[in-house]
Structure 1
């Protein structure tokens, strides 16, 4: 689990998340948030709009470690689940005209207890201390822009996939295979014109269920896709969600 956690924090990807171990919204992505004939923003314009260093209190913002994977190499065994799987790996939904991504990592929390002795190792204090040190949110933010009603259609594809893939699905990235046992819609941040938020749960064998959280929000003809993982919370079975401070900061730049 320790190696899995370290790898997962470095990049949000199906290969690393699944390969390491033996709700509602304003319109729920139904595409009725109002048609837009606006022209898509350019990549340069999106880079000016995405969160940057110093703009999210309590978080370090920078490039996505390892980069965003090629969408052609991320696929589900059921094509209708591709939008969910791709959102979880930071890939922009649908067919955007331009997109850009950043990673926001919560400032590290100091462990409340030092566990270094053999006795500590034996009674589990070391694992508890490790979990505390890794109890931080790592969120990938992807902004994507679309021509015409492309943003609405892309959001609807994610919303439909969340509903259609509730029973789980298998997928792969670069040949690495993994399985999510369930997908469930959850309460969204309520920002933007319409949005959909969901949890996808990976059954990691002896480590139990490992949830990943994502949300896709439409701001006119631009989508903001957020995917958050917290390894420490996973290890301690503590609930967590998509990072609210990250959504707040990004929403402010899109108004």
Structure 2
């Protein structure tokens, strides 16, 4: 992404709106990190469930009810993702089909073949510590915001989706091209990372993204399956973009969300 995209993202985030193009703009101007950075990608810290997934997929409306809501995670503010996240996979394009599930998961979209999808955002709540001083107002936006996506699948669709993500990590190790919102970016490297180990399966991976020729930034995403529902997590800190600092995927958010899944 061009550096101007990152600048527009930070400005837009301050007023509570976020377009797909600006989300991927972040991916070239900052660093992200999830809990842990070692271990294998597929099933990291978890094993596949011996029981078969539910036969029928949940609807988008049912998934909405499973998303975290305000007050369920202490110290975090929950907002609807309807106006802040991409609406369709057609808005997220890669130049390698095997890398599609990775890009979709990072955009809070279903990493597998399903139309049952819901998403929201969960951010640190620092409002109580902000004051009228400019430096404090700036600090109020120095928060980790996690994009959470839920998707549901019929039959063994969820297991297939997890396999697609797991297989995508080595298949895309050399990187891939990403086009969103009419702008292009380059993921230069994909590597397995250590995930939470929750659910029936978990896959975590790290992506290095070219910062418009000024080095690279590392982003981490985690995908967790519980039954026939998959949860994806991706965290960004707007104030830290371009600073080289990292944003961890909050363990409390992952734990609380996975606990709500059927």
- Tell me the TM-score normalized by structure 2: 0.79
Q: Structure 1 residues 221 and 16 mapped into 2: Cα distance closer, same or farther (>3 Å)?
A: closer
Alignment partners' CA distance in 2, 1:131 and 1:237? 18
| 1:77 maps to 2:95 | yes
Contact 1:140–1:227 (CA under 8 A) maintained in structure 2:
yes
Helix, strand or coil at the partner of 2:87: coil
2:181 to 154, 166, 174: 174
2:124 to 82, 101, 106: 106
Alignment partners' CA distance in 2, 1:40 and 1:102? 20
Alignment partners' CA distance in 1, 2:241 and 2:235? 12
Which ranges in structure 2 are unaligned for 5 or more consecutive residues?
A: 1-5, 30-38
Deviates more, 1:43-52 or 1:141-150: 43-52
Alignment partners' CA distance in 1, 2:200 and 2:188? 30
**Residue in 2 that maps onto 1:53:** 70
- Tell me the TM-score normalized by structure 1: 0.81
| 1:202 maps to 2:209 | yes
CA RMSD of aligned residues (A): 3.1
| 1:6 maps to 2:23 | no
Task: Tell me which structure has the larger Cα radius of gyration.
Answer: 1
Alignment partners' CA distance in 2, 1:96 and 1:230? 29
1:27 to 43, 56, 70: 43
Q: How many residues are aligned here?
A: 242
Q: Structure 1 residues 249 and 138 mapped into 2: Cα distance closer, same or farther (>3 Å)?
A: same
